[in-house]
Amino acid sequence: MTNTLDTDVLIVGAGPVGLTLAMDLAQRGIKVTVAEIRRYAEPPNVKCNHVSARTMEQFRRLGVAGKLRQAGLPEDYPNDVVFRTSMTGVELTRIPIPCRRDRYTETVGPDTGWPTPEPPHRINQIYLEPILLEHAAAQSGVTLLNRTQVLDISQASDGVEASLLDINTNTQRKLRARYLVGCDGGSSGVRKQMGAKLEGTAVIQRVQSTFIRAPKLRAMLPGRPAWCYYSVNPRRCGTVFAIDGHDTWLVHNHLNAEEPEFDSVDRDQSIRDILGVGPDFEYEVISKEDWVGRRLVANRFRNGNVFIAGDAAHLWVPYAGYGMNAGIADATNLAWLLAARLQGWADESMLDAYEAERQPITEQVSYFVMDHAQKMIKARRAVPPNIEAEDADGAAARALIGQEAYELNVQQFCCAGLNFGYFYSGSPIMVTDEEQPPGYTMGGFTPSTVPGCRAPHFWLDDGRSLYDVLGAGYTLLRFNDSVDAAPLIAAAKAARLPLQVIDLQGQSAVPEAYRHKLVLCRSDQHVVWRGDQVPVKPEQLVDILRGVRRQQLKLAA
C-alpha cells in the first residue's frame, strides 16, 4: 500500500451508527468518507423508535440534540406505554412517560427526574436519520458516496484499500484509508471479510411486523393516547407504535414457537385482532418490516485497521430500545480512539480499548434483553382465556395481568440502569482502584466515579451541564483547588495528550459520588482515573491514557 491516503477513515454504511461516527470524527478534525448503497436521503426502514438518554447526551455534544427534540411525535403527544386487551379495548395498565414538550419539566412518574441534561426522546428512525444525515453532510471533512458498494478490502500495516462499485455507472475504483469501520448492518460484508463471526442465539422470536396507515384509528382509541400499545388477548398478542401521532402505526405481531415462518399466520386477521377492529375497518399496508429477534455478538470487533460497530457487531431483540443506541455507543467510543491515534498523541495499541470496552458490555446487554424477551414470550403464552369477560373473574384477571405487565416492563421503558449504570472494566486505558463498580441492572443504578463508570452528571452553578465543559480529550475535574495539578499538566503537554482542568470547588450541586479531590474523565464522560493528589510519576498515568503503557498494579500517589 502507498502512503497516499484518500481519507483518514472509511465508514461503510450511512445509517444512524455510521452517521454518528462520521459526525464525531469530523468534529475532531478527521477526514471521513462514508460509502452507502442507498441514494442520498433515501428513506430508511421503520426501525428504531427510541433514542436513549445516553445517546442524547452524545448528540448534545455533537450539536444535534436540539434538532432531534423538535422532530418525531407532536410535542404534546403522550409517550406513555399502555397495555390493553386490544389496542381499542380495555386498559390493563399504563406506564406514564412525558411528551417531548414536558420532558424537562415533568416531575411525576417513573420516567422523570433523569440525572442528565438530555432525557430520552421517542422518535422513529424515519425522522431521526434524515436529521443526522443533514448534520453529517454539513460537516467539513465528511464525503458521502451514495449508491456505492464496498466490494472487498485488503489490509497493510499502514492502512486499508477498498474496492468500491458505483452502482449507477457500474464502474469500480480503489479508495485508500488509514482505518475502515463497518457500520453495514446485521449482514455486514465488512464483518465477514475481517473474519469475525456472530455467536449466540440465532433465533429467539420471529415478529411479523407491518407499517400501516390508518387515519380512522386514533379516533377509536379510548382514553389518553400512547406512544406504545401492547395488545394482550387469547387470539393475538402484539405491540403497536405510534409513528407520526396521527395516521401511521407500526404493528408487531409476535409469532409463537409453533409459528416458525412469517406467513405462518394470517397477517390481516392478526392486525385486526391486535387493533381490536372488525372486518370493515380500513387500513393501508405501507410496508412489511418482518424481523427476527436474536442474541448474537461478534467474537471480535477489530482486525488490524478494520473495525465493526452497531448491528454489524451485535444483534438482539430491541427491548429497552437498545439496538440502535448500543451501536451509537460503539460509534462514540471508537470515534475518539481513532481521532486520538490520527491526531498523533496516542499509540496504536490504544485502539485495543475499543474491543476491550465495547464487546463485554454488549455481551452483557444482550443477555439483559434476551432474558426480558423470554419473560415476555412466557407472559404472552399465559394470557387467561377470560381476560375480556365482563364479570368479576374477568376483572380480576385483567387486574393481575396489568400488575404483572407494569412490574415487568417499567424497567425497560424507564431504564436508568441501562443508560447510566454500565461501566468499562478491563480497559487498557483506565486506571482501576480497589473499589468495585456498582452492579449493572436494567432498571436502576448507583452513581459512581469508579474508573470505567459514567461520571455522574450535575449542573454547574452558572447553569451549564458538567458535560458541556468537558474537553475533546481528557478533562481533570478538580474539586479542591489547593491540589497541585501542575505535574500532570506538564506530563500531558510533554506527550501532546490533550488535557484541560476544570476547577469545581464550591459548586453547590456536586453529587456525593465525587469523594476524591481529582477525577479524570474522557470526552465520552467515562472516568479513567481518580485520586486525592497527582501520582508521583504522572508520566506513567499519561502513558496509560494514550495506550503506551499497560496499567501496573497500582499507581503511586
Give pLDDT tens digits for 329-371. Answer: 999 999 999 999 999 999 999 999 999 999 998 888 877 777 8
Mean pLDDT across the chain = 93
DSSP state of 312: G
pLDDT value at 3 more than 50: no
Q: What is the pTM of this model?
A: 0.95
pLDDT of amino acid 316? 81
Q: Are strands 7-12 and 171-182 parallel, antiparallel or unpaired?
A: parallel
Digit-coded pLDDT (tens) for 536-545 = 999 999 999 9
pLDDT at residue number 273: 97
Percent of the chain with pLDDT over 70: 97
Residues 6 or more apart whose CB falls under 8 angstroms from that of 309 comprise 17, 21, 181, 182, 183, 301, 327, 330, 331, 334
Bridge partner residues of 432 (DSSP) = none
d(CA 115, CA 511): 10
Pairing of strands 32-36, 7-12: parallel
Q: Which helix (H) or strand (E) holds 249?
A: strand 248-254
Predicted pLDDT of residue 194: 95
Grid coordinates of 37: 448503497
Question: Which of 196, 203, 247, 199 is CA-nearest to residue 221?
Answer: 247
- All three cell numbers of 306, joined, read 478494520
Mutual angle of helices 352-381 and 392-413, in 10-degree steps: 180
**Residues 292-342 pLDDT 10s:** 888 899 999 999 999 999 999 999 877 656 689 999 999 999 999 999 999
**In which residue are the cell numbers 417513573 written?**
110
Tens digits of per-residue pLDDT, 132-176? 999 999 999 999 999 999 999 999 989 999 999 999 999 999 999
| Section 443-450 average pLDDT | 92
Rounded Cα–Cα distance for residues 526 and 488 (Å): 19
Cα–Cα distance measured from residue 235 to residue 453, given in angstroms and rounded to the nearest whole number: 45
Q: Residue 378: pLDDT band by 50, 70, 90 thresholds?
A: confident
In 3D space, the residue among 57, 67, 16 whose CA is nearest the CA of residue 419 turns out to be 57
pLDDT of residue 320: 53
Which residue is it, cell 449493572?
440
The percentage of residues in the chain with a pLDDT greater than 90, rounded to a whole number, is 82
Q: Tell me the pLDDT band of 549, cut-offs 50, 70 and 90.
A: confident
